[in-house]
Every structure is written in structure tokens, then in C-alpha cells.
Amino acid sequence: AQSVSQHNHHVILSEAASLELGCNYSYGGTVNLFWYVQYPGQHLQLLLKYFSGDPLVKGIKGFEAEFIKSKFSFNLRKPSVQWSDTAEYFCAVNARSGNTGKLIFGQGTTLQVKP
């Protein structure tokens, strides 16, 4: 069965600090990978996605993620965080083998950015 692990449950950073959130997945086949963000009181929004090609993907709001197949990882990065990045971040995977887009989510990482 697929599973997703996000190592950091709660991260506190000061503005302008760099961010890296870890995500590892467990699945033997080919996957699609996603990062979603949930701002306080809002719905999940897609930050970025990886389906194939260049393993370094760029998303909205200056976020990027790198897919490292050998490590089953898809870490999220941002060089300089802002107070408005305070939110919960979810990594998710979808197995390409089935004819379904169902997502398996990690537990989420709460990011708190101090002004």
C-alpha cells in the first residue's frame, strides 16, 4: 500500500529564512507527486505537481520541489519565506498504475513564520 511521510510536523521560521519540508513516499511503482497548501480557514490549494520530466518543479509563490527517485523523496523548498506563508503544507502521491486520481496524503506540516 502507498504511504506518505512528512518528517516535520511543526516548523517555526523567521521571515527571510529558507524553508525545506521533507516528504518521502512508499510505493514501488511510478507516481505523480503533489504539494498542497492550506491557509488558515481556507481550502487546499495546489502549490506544485510532478508528473514526469525535469525533477525540479517550480510552483506558485516562489515554491519549488525536487523529485529524487532513488530516495523516494519530493522535498518542498523556498529560499526566503514570508509571514503570509504561514499555513499547513501537505505532500500527496497518486499511483499511475490505477485509473484513478485518488491522492494519498502525508500528515501535514504546520509552518509558522514569525514577522
Partner 1 sequence: DSGVTQTPKHLITATGQRVTLRCSPRSGDLSVYWYQQSLDQGLQFLIQYYNGEERAKGNILERFSAQQFPDLHSELNLSSLELGDSALYFCASSRTGGTVDTQYFGPGTRLTVL
Contact residues for partner 1, defined by CB under 8 A = 32, 36, 42-46, 49, 51, 90, 94-96, 98-108
CB of 5 to partner 1, least distance (A): 11
CB of 26 to partner 1, least distance (A): 15
Query: Of 9, 98, 90, whose CA–CA distance to 49 is shortest?
Result: 90
Cβ proximity to partner 1: between 51 and 83 the closer is 51
Q: From residue 42, give the alpha-carbon distance in Å to each of 2, 38, 46.
A: 27, 6, 12
CB of 41 to partner 1, least distance (A): 9
Cβ(65)–Cβ(46) below 8 Å: no
